[in-house]
Amino acid sequence: DAGVTQSPTHLIKTRGQQVTLRCSPISGHKSVSWYQQVLGQGPQFIFQYYEKEERGRGNFPDRFSARQFPNYSSELNVNALLLGDSALYLCASSRLTGGYTGELFFGEGSRLTVL
């Protein structure tokens, strides 16, 4: 079975531009969450979507938005890019049903560089 897939893997943008990152969860997983990992830090929670509805939002400005589609894939959008948005953006999926273990399945990430 395919794991979580993300695209693009790498991209370079300039300040003020907008970016869209995409994620396909593992088949059967209905929950998708997004994390930002800045160099030297652990992943930081941005959003979670479950059954196409926002279930949680981290401490990020309104420039960050996301959505989930009927096939459970998801997009993360970031507007008006700042230099500080340069990071690895990780997508994770889970079933969010059954016994809770805290296990998220992460993709390899999209590395965004803002110049």
Partner 1 sequence: DQQVKQNSPSLSVQEGRISILNCDYTNSMFDYFLWYKKYPAEGPTFLISISSIKDKNEDGRFTVFLNKSAKHLSLHIVPSQPGDSAVYFCAASVGNRDDKIIFGKGTRLHILP
Query: Binding residues for partner 1, per CB under 8 A?
Result: 4, 31, 33, 35, 40-45, 48, 50, 55-56, 58, 90, 92, 94, 96, 100-109
Residue closer to partner 1 (CB basis): 79 or 88: 88
> From the CB of 107, what's the least distance to partner 1, in Å?
5
**Shortest distance, position 101 Cβ to partner 1, whole Å:** 5
Measured distance CA(78)–CA(17) in Å, rounded = 9
87 vs 90 by CB, closer to partner 1: 90
Joined together, the tokens standing for residue 97 give 């049903």
Strands 31-37 and 44-50: antiparallel
Cβ count within 10 A of residue 70: 7
Contact, 79 vs 68, CB < 8 A? no
| Residue 46, both tokens | 């941005």
Give 48 or 85: the residue with its C-beta nearer to partner 1: 48
